[in-house]
Chain A
Amino acid sequence: MFLVEFLIKNGRAGIDFSSTIGRSGIFLCRSILGLSLGPKGLKLLAKQIYMVGVLSLVIIVVSGLFIGMVLALQGYNILIDYGSEQAIGQMVALTLVRELGPVVTGLLFAGRAGSALTAEIGLMKATEQLSSMEMMGVDPLKRIIAPRLWAGFISMPILAVIFSTVGIFGGLLVGVDWLGVYEGAFWANMQSSVNFQEDVLNGLIKSLVFGLVCTWIAVFQGYDSVPTSEGISIATTKTVVYSSLAVLGLDFLLTAVMFSSI
Chain B
Amino acid sequence: MDSYITINDLHFTRGHRSIFNGVTLHIPRGKVTAIMGPSGTGKTTLLRLIGGQLRADSGQILLDGQDISQLGRKALFDARKKMGMLFQSGALFSDISVFENVAFPLRAHTKLAEDVIRDIVLMKLQAVGLRGARDLMPSELSGGMTRRVALARTIALDPELLLYDEPFAGQDPIAMGVLVQLIRLLNDALGLTSVLVSHDITESLSICDHVVILADGVVIGEGSPTELKKSDSPLLKQFLNGLPDGPVPFHYPANDYKTDLIG
Contacts and interface: CB of A to CB of B under 8 A. Distances in A.
Contacts of B23: none
A198 interface: no
A135 interface: yes
A214 to B, nearest CB: 23
A86 to B, nearest CB: 53
Interface stretch (B61-69, B101-109, B203-211, B248-256): B101-109
Interface in A92-145: 127-129, 131-132, 134-139, 143
A127 to B, nearest CB: 6
A129 B93 contact: yes
B53 A134 contact: yes
Main secondary structure of the interface of B (DSSP, over half): mixed
17 contacts: A127-B91, A128-B87, A132-B85, A132-B91, A132-B150, A135-B80, A135-B83, A135-B84, A136-B81, A136-B105, A136-B109, A136-B153, A136-B157, A137-B77, A137-B109, A138-B77, A138-B104
A132 B78 CA distance: 15
Given A136-B104, A138-B104, 10 more contacts: A40-B107, A128-B87, A128-B91, A131-B53, A131-B91, A132-B87, A132-B150, A135-B51, A137-B105, A138-B105
Contacts of A128: 87-89, 91
Q: Give me the 7 closest cross-chain CB pairs, A-B, nearest first.
A: A132-B91, A128-B91, A137-B80, A135-B85, A137-B81, A128-B87, A136-B105
Interface of B: 51, 53, 77-78, 80-81, 83-85, 87-89, 91-94, 104-105, 107-109, 150, 153, 157
A196 B80 CA distance: 52
A40 B84 CA distance: 23
